[in-house]
Amino acid sequence: MELQNSKKIIDQKFSRKKILKTIGIGSISFFALKIFPLNYLLTGKNNINSSIKIKSNPLAVSRNKKGSNNVAR
């Protein structure tokens, strides 16, 4: 009786179909996110590799150290 009840409970709680469905959707989503256009939508916003180019001015004269200590003693 107990075994029958347990089987019933297990059947109710664990549906093989549901498990496989979840894994299937998960796998498809996993691969879908890797391909265009979804990968662009997710990473494009955080992509800071934009058209801004930084270039120092070659005519400016630098110094390696600050000079005399900024903080007076």
Partner 1 sequence: MSQDKLESNENIKQPDSNYWRSFNELYNDPVFIENSKHEFYNGVTDGFSPNELSGLSRRKFLALLGASAALAGAGCADYRDKGEIIPYNQKPEEVTLGKPTYYASTCTGCSLSCGILIKTREGRPIKIDGNPDHPVNQGKICAKGQANILNLYDPERLSTPLRRNNLGYFDNISWEIADKEILNKLNQAGDKEIAIITNQITSPSGLKIIEEFKSKFSKVNVYTYDLFNNSIKDSAWAKSYGSGKFPLIQWDAAKVVLSLEGDFLGVDGNKIENARLFSQGRDIDAIEKFNRLYVVEGNMSLTGMNADYRMRLRPDAQYEFVMCLINELSKRGISSSIITSQYSLQDFAKRFSLPGKFLNHLVNDLIANRGKAIVYSGSTLPENVHIAVNYLNEILGNTSLYRKDSTIQQAMDLSLTDYLKNLISSLDDGKVAAVIHYDSNPAYHLPSDLNYRKALSKAGVVITLTVSENESSAISDYVLPIHHNFESWGDAKTRSGFYSLLQPVISPITDTRQKEGILLSWTGIAGSYDETLYHKYLLNNWEKNIYPGLNSKMSFQQFWNSALHDGIVLVDEKVNISTEFISSSLNELKPVNKYSDYVLVLKESFALGDGRFANNGFMQELPHPVSKVTWDNYAAISEQTSKELNVKNNDLIEVKSGNNKLNIPVFIQPGCADRMIEIELGYGREKAGVVGSSVGFNANSFIKSQFSVSPWIIEGVSVTKAGGTYNLVSTQEHHAFDIERVQDLHKKRHIIQEGTLETYKKNPKFIQDNRKHELESVYKPFPYDGVKWGMAIDMNKCIGCGECIVACNVENNVPIVGKDQVEKGREMHWLRVDRYYSGTINEPSVSTQIMLCQQCDQAPCENVCPVVATNHSPDGLNQMVYNRCVGTRYCSNNCPYKVRRFNYFNFRDHFRDGYQEQPLLALLNNPEVTVRSRGVMEKCTFCLQRISDARSDAIRENRPLKGSDVTTACQDSCSTNAIKFGDINDLESDFSKFRNHELGYYVLEELNVKPNVTYLARLRNTHSEEA
**Is residue 42 within 8 Å of residue 33, measured between CB atoms?**
yes
d(CA 57, CA 55): 6
Q: Nearer to partner 1 by C-beta: 13 or 17?
A: 13
Interface residues toward partner 1, by CB under 8 A: 13, 22, 26, 29-30, 33-34, 39, 42-43, 45-50, 52-73
**Is residue 33 within 8 Å of residue 39, measured between CB atoms?**
yes
> Smallest distance from the beta carbon of 5 to partner 1, in angstroms?
18
Q: Nearer to partner 1 by C-beta: 7 or 43?
A: 43
